[in-house]
């Protein structure tokens, strides 16, 4: 797989994973030690996202959102298949 493809995937998926970490933190799922590490990871995801997309044009932002939506939909479909 090309490096650019991997980078696009990371830029699209990491913010979604960050959202999931926030949700789990809010639900008090994690122990204190894991929560600290999860918060550190969340901070790093946000920094990376900002650094990679700060100078991006609108088309890049739209592509990132499309990847995020597709990833969330893929997870939802997998969840639905496992429940039904």
Mean pLDDT of 24-35: 89
Tokens of 39: 């918060």
pLDDT above 80 (res 81): yes
Asked if 10 contacts 44 with a C-beta cutoff of 8 angstroms, the reply is: no
Say what the pLDDT of residue 5 is: 79
Average pLDDT over residues 18-30: 89
- Those residues whose C-beta lies under 8 Å from the C-beta of residue 2, and which sit 6 or more positions away, are none
Q: Please name the residue that has the structure tokens 């999860």.
A: 38
The mean predicted confidence, pLDDT, of the chain is: 87
Between 48 and 78, the higher pLDDT residue: 78
Whether the pLDDT of residue 76 is over 80: the answer is: yes
pLDDT higher than 80, residue 84: no
Residues 22 and 45: beta-carbon distance below 8 Å:
no
> What average pLDDT does this structure show over 41-45?
89
């Amino acid at each position: 797989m090309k490096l650019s493809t991997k980078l696009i995937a990371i830029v699209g998926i990491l913010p979604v994973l960050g959202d999931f970490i926030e949700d789990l933190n809010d639900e008090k799922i994690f122990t204190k030690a894991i929560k600290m590490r999860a918060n550190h990871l969340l901070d790093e995801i946000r920094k990376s996202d900002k650094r990679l997309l700060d100078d991006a044009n609108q088309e890049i932002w739209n592509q990132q959102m499309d990847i995020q939506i597709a990833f969330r939909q893929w997870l939802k479909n997998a969840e639905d298949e496992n429940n039904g």
